Amino acid sequence: MIALIQRVTQAKVDIAGETVGAINQGLLVLLGVEKDDNEQKAKRLCEKVCGYRIFSDENDKMNLNVQQAGGSLLVVSQFTLAAETQKGMRPGFSNGAPQN
């Protein structure tokens, strides 16, 4: 399981002109799920992402996690994060979890 996180003041996902997810301040999480991932790995990743102290406190120091900062999470599936790019110019996606 691979996550790419970005602090945002707002983020949204539109599909065919319709907003299907939106947040104000918080974290945009692009999530790549691999074949061998399981619920335990997902819980551990969630704990880590939610625990990162990357929001400023009252002294302008990065000391707060997303919950303490009153933020939200927007998680977006991104299978390309599971790409195999070690050789050649065509990435492989065989490590990615099957689409259900």
Residues classed as catalytic:
78-80
Can you tell me the distance from the alpha carbon of 70 to that of 32, in angstroms, rounded to the nearest whole number? 25
Is 1:79 a contact under the CB 8 Å cutoff? no
Is 74:29 a contact under the CB 8 Å cutoff? yes
The encoded tokens of residue 65 equal 């996690």
